[in-house]
Amino acid sequence: MELIENYFGDFTPRQLEQFRALEGLYTDWNSKINVISRKDIDQLYSNHVLHSLAIAAAFTFPPGSKIIDIGTGGGFPGIPLAIFFPEVEFLLADSINKKLKVVAGVADEIGLKNVVTRHTRVEDIKDRKFDYVVSRAVAPLGDLWRWSKPLLAKRPSDGEHPASGLICLKGGDLAAEISASGVRPKIMEVFDLFPEENFREKYLLYVHK
């Protein structure tokens, strides 16, 4: 948790309480439903929470905006972002229901009122539009963009907040994946935001609508 506070110094007492509760909650849930690898659970704040918050370090979202986290898994990046942006609405979607049980349990325990979950394939969401789509290591960029486009409302940039689009966290050599995607994302290195060794060759990609 100290690692998070090293990079973000303006949390409210409520946010600090919520972030601090994550370790115990995920450790407990993970013993029942494995959503984080056993070796990774000891590095929850570094490998999962801070990694998710790279999006918050690079972008700010307007109050009242709507964000969908597709393939949320155990709730990353959605849960940390929902704590960070309490006035933004989040839908955390996944096709595996037992993972969403963990997500809903964690959100309920820490009193997150701006999170709902949905058990679905992203292609089957037809009833809602979102200002932003976020995702972490779920699918190739081309697939993510194909799924995202029908979900995105048209919100232009106002100078402070980004235009509606897809924001995803990825790692490794992305040249072939980006080339095959047919889109030209803005690429940011997570290591430039958080100079920690485990963030080398990890990237933040943004494609606006």
Residue-wise pLDDT tens digits, 82-141: 999 999 999 999 999 999 999 999 999 999 999 999 999 999 999 999 999 999 988 999
**pLDDT value of position 137:** 83
Please enumerate, by residue number, every residue annotated as part of a binding site for S-adenosyl-L-methionine. 71, 76, 122-123, 136
As a whole-number percent, the residues of the chain with pLDDT over 90 amount to 95
- The one-letter amino acid code at 141 reads L
As a whole-number percent, the residues of the chain with pLDDT over 70 amount to 100
The mean of the pLDDT values for the chain is 96
pLDDT band at 156 (very low <50, low <70, confident <90, very high): very high
**pLDDT value of position 37:** 86
* Boundaries of every domain in the chain: 2-208
State mean pLDDT over 16-41.
93
State mean pLDDT over 181-206.
97
Of 77, 132, 98, nearest in space to 30 by CA: 98
The DSSP letter of residue 123 is: G
pTM over 0.85: yes
Token pair in block for residue 41: 């659970």
Residues across the chain: 209
**What is the spatial distance between Cα 191 and Cα 200, in angstroms, rounded to a whole number?**
6
- What residues contact residue 94 under an 8 Å CB cut-off, 6+ apart? 71, 72, 73, 100, 103, 117, 119
Domain range 2-208, CATH architecture:
3-Layer(aba) Sandwich (3.40)
Hey, is 208 helix, strand or coil? strand
Residue 177 has pLDDT above 90, yes or no: yes
**pLDDT value of position 51:** 98
Of 53, 38, 39, 41, nearest in space to 3 by CA: 53
> Which is it for strands 132-136 and 115-119: parallel, antiparallel or unpaired?
unpaired
**What is the spatial distance between Cα 105 and Cα 49, in angstroms, rounded to a whole number?**
17
**pLDDT value of position 40:** 86
| Contact of 169 with 137, CB cutoff 8 Å | yes
Q: In a 10 Å sphere around its CB, with 0-12 CB exposed, 13-18 middle and 19+ buried, how is residue 185 labelled?
A: buried
State mean pLDDT over 158-179.
96
- What residues contact residue 50 under an 8 Å CB cut-off, 6+ apart? 3, 4, 7, 194, 196
**pLDDT value of position 39:** 78
**What is the spatial distance between Cα 123 and Cα 103, in angstroms, rounded to a whole number?**
21
State mean pLDDT over 178-192.
97
